[in-house]
């Protein structure tokens, strides 16, 4: 059984593009959320959104002119993140005529993949009787695996190239699935992560479900309020993040820089029973997930220094905290440090788990914790937790961190990392 | 628009699709797929772009005529005269 380490990362987040910029934005507590005139014009209740500041020039440089022209937002984000991750892992970008890289796979998931292509292009052209105008690339842009296929072709990957999808648990689940592929000696390297498009059609569905924050349109940076008494819903966002998971043996053989070890993780579902539903978690499911992840990781609950929570800024935050507290057997006042990256970048849906995992690793490696902003009015239901939540950036030499993600469908994912100390 | 102008425009248009190292070797006899390595799956995109760029329409049957660079250029010129 191989040990699994992280040797590269790439990120396209609402508050920063690229690892260095992201690290600085996290440390500064910089929000990537902004008011959307388009959402206001279309009568959305929530008119705040987080869209990565990606330039066409950067996307075209990563993808080449033809792929850039035939891509949608999740493909662009995924490609930029993948190219950064590849280079960050110390690898040379392959050329189009290179051999396939049989030793590297990709699991790059999404919630709603090609929805912008469908909504903006395929549906109107088809309904107007102009099917012919769709051209050759509509098919590869609408499929849910559009971003993994795009990255697979860019990098010539010859292992399994797939996209998982488990709503807001997608990004963390990709890491867990990649972990097992390497742990079980099935492959040496996996690009694992996720990408979520910027599309009003996705955000419209969340708005109609009335889970998005409507009370902060005039103050977008205050809209994402995980852990606060005045949390009023999630703030939708888009982006991508990809991590290179690699067997320790492979990493050491090529003298790769190692960020952290993936100690293990677990995905499960609460069955939409016992208080769970399509949109709510079964508390027992969360606890089982966390306990099993800790067991797989072979750590003691008291050794966990830091948790990057799912924490969406909805009424589910307190339930999440109580379930994790119960699963770890640590009362609220004695919980690990915990923060909510969503307070800065909104809810990236399928990309949330991976963007937040990159945030987790950056904090582990660089010895800080980013502020969990907008919870000055802390949720009184979990008041004892307050001292464990940094509201300004703090120095913290965390060694073992846990990332939790929970998604529609009552699905759960929990993964643990340990900083790599040479 | 004379034939040379159409030829230059056409070559500019297909440039992102061409996968050979030296574009100066392209001649009217060059086969789009076999010689210039244009992905045949992308042919429909080249046709759509030609329609937009040269303001002509090209039927599915006429699409078959885009075998060599010279054939495509001659076809576009004829269509433009007829338009």
Q: Which tens digits make up the pLDDT trace of A161-189?
A: 999 999 999 999 999 999 999 999 999 99
Q: What mean pLDDT do residues A396-400 have?
A: 96
CB contact under 8 A, A137 and B17: no
Residues of B with CB under 8 A from a CB of A: 16-17, 19, 41-45, 48
Q: Phi first, then psi: give them for residue A34, nearest 5 degrees.
A: -145, 160
Specify whether A202 is located in the same domain as A313.
Answer: no
pLDDT for A243 equals 98
User: In this structure, are A82 and A98 located in the same domain?
Assistant: yes
Per-residue pLDDT at A238 exceeds 90: yes
CA A1 vs CA A173, A187, A253: distances in Å: 20, 11, 17
**Cross-chain residue pair A136–B42, CB shorter than 8 Å:** yes
Dump the DSSP string for B35-50. TT---GGGHHHHHHHH
Is the pLDDT confidence value at B21 over 80? no
H helix intervals, A254-351:
283-297, 317-328, 342-345
Which residues share a beta bridge with A16?
A: A13
Which of the pair, A422 or A299, is modelled with greater confidence?
A: A299
My answer on whether A99 and A32 are in the same domain is yes
Label the pairing between strands A400-407 and A306-308. Answer: parallel
Q: What is the ipTM of this complex?
A: 0.85
Residue A371: band (very low, low, confident or very high) from pLDDT cuts 50, 70, 90: very high
* Architecture of the domain spanning B3-82: Orthogonal Bundle (1.10)
Q: How far is B1 from chain A (nearest CA, A)?
A: 26
What is residue B61's predicted lDDT score, i.e. its pLDDT?
Answer: 86
Question: Which residues is A162 bridged to in the sheet?
Answer: A107
Q: Check residue B40 and give its pLDDT.
A: 87
Domain end marker among A260, A291, A323: A260
Helix, strand or coil, per DSSP, at residue A274: coil
Closest CA to B49 of A73, A130, A136, A119: A136
List chain B residues with CB under 8 Å of A137.
42, 45
Do A227 and A278 belong together in one domain?
Answer: no
Residues A248 and A270 both lie in one domain: no
Q: Would you say residue B83 has pLDDT above 90? A: no
In whole angstroms, how far apart are CA A300 and each of A292, A293, A294?
A: 12, 11, 7
- Does residue B19 register a pLDDT over 90? no
> Closest Cα to residue A390, out of A364, A372, A402?
A372
What average pLDDT does this structure show over B68-82? 90
Is B16 close to A69, i.e. CB distance below 8 A?
Answer: yes
C-alpha triplet A413, A28, A304: angle, nearest 5°: 35
pLDDT value of residue B23: 81
CB contact under 8 A, B44 and A66: no
Domain assignment present for A421: no
A269/A250 same-domain check: no
Of A205, A239, A260, which one is at a domain's C-terminal end? A260
Give the pLDDT confidence score for residue A354 in this predicted structure. Answer: 98
DSSP code, position A334: G
- Altogether, the residues listed in chain A come to a count of 422
Q: Is the pLDDT of residue A373 over 90?
A: yes
Angle at CA of residue A284, ends A162 and A385, nearest 5°: 100
Domain identity same for A297 and A241? no
What is d(CA B83, CA B81) in angstroms, rounded to the nearest whole number? 6
**Domain shared by A67 and A212, yes or no:** yes
Same-domain status, A274 and A223: no
Across the strands, what pairs with A212?
A234
Give the residue-averaged pLDDT of A377-396: 97
| pLDDT (0 to 100) of residue B25 | 87
Q: Do A204 and A175 reside in the same domain of the chain? A: yes
Best residue in A69, A70, A134, A135 for a mutation probing chain B (most B CBs within 10 Å) = A135
Domain ranges in chain B?
3-82
What is the per-residue pLDDT for A408? 95
Q: Is the pLDDT of residue A229 over 90?
A: yes
pLDDT at A266: 98
- Closest residue, chain A, to B42 (C-alpha): A136
Residues contacting A227, CB < 8 A, separation 6+: A311, A317, A321, A340, A343, A372, A375, A378, A379, A382, A385, A389
Q: Give the count of beta carbons closer than 10 Å to the beta carbon of residue B7.
A: 19
pLDDT at A320 over 80: yes
Q: What's the pLDDT at A365?
A: 97
Structural domain count of chain A? 2
Which range of residues forms the domain containing residue A280? Answer: 265-416
Position A55 pLDDT exceeds 80: yes
pLDDT for B66 beyond 90: no
State the pLDDT at residue A102. Answer: 98
Q: Is the four-CA dihedral B41, B43, B46, B52 of positive or negative sign?
A: negative
Are residue A88 and residue A191 in the same domain, yes or no? yes
* Inter-CA distances, B24 with A280, A407, B11, B69, Å: 62, 54, 11, 13
Q: Which of A244, A260, A276 is the last residue of a domain?
A: A260
Closest CA to A357 of A221, A283, A259: A259
Residue A422 placed within a domain: no
HSE-CB of A159 using CA atoms within 13 angstroms: 18
CA distance B80 to A259: 61
**Which chain A residues have a beta carbon less than 8 Å from that of B17?**
66
Same domain, A72 and A136: yes
Closest alpha carbon to A11 in A262, A264, A362: A362
DSSP string, B17-77: G---S-GGG--TT-BTTTTT---GGGHHHHHHHHHHHHT----HHHHTT-SBHHHHHHHHH
CA dist B24 and A184 (Å) reads 51
* Other residues' Cβ atoms within 10 Å of the Cβ of residue A292: 18
A302 Cβ partners below 8 Å, 6+ apart?
A: A330
Residue B16 to residue A96, Cβ atoms within 8 A: no
Average pLDDT score, chain A: 97
Q: What is the pLDDT of residues A97-117, one digit of tens each?
A: 899 999 999 999 999 989 999
- Predicted confidence band at A422 (pLDDT cuts at 50, 70, 90)? confident
Q: Express each pLDDT in A274-305 by its tens digit.
A: 999 999 999 999 999 999 999 999 999 999 99
CA distances (Å), origin A387, targets A30, A182, A272, A377: 21, 38, 33, 13
Distance from CA of A136 to the nearest CA of B (A): 6
CATH of the domain at A347: 3.40.47.10
Instruction: Indicate the residue of A64, A65, A136 with minimum beta-carbon distance to B45.
Output: A136
Instruction: Give B49 to chain A, closest Cα distance, Å.
Output: 10
Instruction: Give, rounded to a whole angstrom, the gap between the first and last alpha carbons of chain A.
Output: 21
pLDDT at B81: 85
Distance (Å, whole) CA A27 – CA A45: 31
Percent with pLDDT over 90 in chain A: 98
Q: How confident is the model at residue A26 (pLDDT cuts 50, 70, 90)?
A: very high
A66, A133, A135 member nearest B17 (Cβ): A66
């Amino acid at each position: 059984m191989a040990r699994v380490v992280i040797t590269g990362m790439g990120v396209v987040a609402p508050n920063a593009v690229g690892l260095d910029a992201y690290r600085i934005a996290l440390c500064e507590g910089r929000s990537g959320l902004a008011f959307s005139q388009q959402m206001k014009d279309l009568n959305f209740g929530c008119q705040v959104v987080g869209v990565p500041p990606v330039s066409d020039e950067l996307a075209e440089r990563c993808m080449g002119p033809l792929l850039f022209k035939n891509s949608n937002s999740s493909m662009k984000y995924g490609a930029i993140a993948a190219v950064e991750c590849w280079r960050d892992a110390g690898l040379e970008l392959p050329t189009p005529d290179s051999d396939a890289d049989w030793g590297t796979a990709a699991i790059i998931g999404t919630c709603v993949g090609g929805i912008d292509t469908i909504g903006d292009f395929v549906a109107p052209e088809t309904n107007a009787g102009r099917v012919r105008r769709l051209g050759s690339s509509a098919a590869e842009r609408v499929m849910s695996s559009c971003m993994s296929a795009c990255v697979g072709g860019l990098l010539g990957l010859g292992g399994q190239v797939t996209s998982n999808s488990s709503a807001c648990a997608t990004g963390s689940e990709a890491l867990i699935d990649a972990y097992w592929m390497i742990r079980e000696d099935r492959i040496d390297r996996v690009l694992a992560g996720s990408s979520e498009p910027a599309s009003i059609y996705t955000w419209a569905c969340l708005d109609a479900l009335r889970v998005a924050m409507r009370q902060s349109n005039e103050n977008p940076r205050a809209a994402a309020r995980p852990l606060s008494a005045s949390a009023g819903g999630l703030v939708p966002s888009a982006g991508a993040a990809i991590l290179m998971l690699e067997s320790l043996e492979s990493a050491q053989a090529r003298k790769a820089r190692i960020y952290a070890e993936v100690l293990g993780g677990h995905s499960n579902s609460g069955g939409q029973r016992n208080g769970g539903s399509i949109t709510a978690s079964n508390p027992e499911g969360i606890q089982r997930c966390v306990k099993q992840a800790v067991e797989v990781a072979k750590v003691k609950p008291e050794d966990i220094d830091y948790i990057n929570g799912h924490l969406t800024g909805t009424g589910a935050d307190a339930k999440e905290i109580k379930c994790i507290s119960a699963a770890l057997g640590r009362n609220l006042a004695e919980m690990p440090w915990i923060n909510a990256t969503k307070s800065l970048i909104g809810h990236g849906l399928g990309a949330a788990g991976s963007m937040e995992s990159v945030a987790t690793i950056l904090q582990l490696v660089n010895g800080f914790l980013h502020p969990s902003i907008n919870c000055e009015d802390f949720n009184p239901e979990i008041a004892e937790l307050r001292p464990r939540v940094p509201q300004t950036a703090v120095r913290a030499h965390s060694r073992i961190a846990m990332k939790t993600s929970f998604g529609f469908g009552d699905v759960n994912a929990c993964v643990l990392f340990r900083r790599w100390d040479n | 628009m004379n034939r040379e102008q159409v030829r230059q425009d056409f070559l500019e248009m297909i440039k992102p699709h061409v996968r050979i190292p030296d574009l100066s070797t392209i001649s009217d006899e060059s086969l789009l797929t076999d010689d210039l390595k244009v992905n045949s799956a992308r042919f429909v995109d080249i046709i759509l772009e030609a329609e937009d760029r040269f303001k002509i329409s090209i039927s599915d049957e006429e699409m078959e005529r885009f075998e060599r660079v010279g054939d495509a250029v001659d076809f576009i010129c004829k269509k433009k005269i007829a338009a």
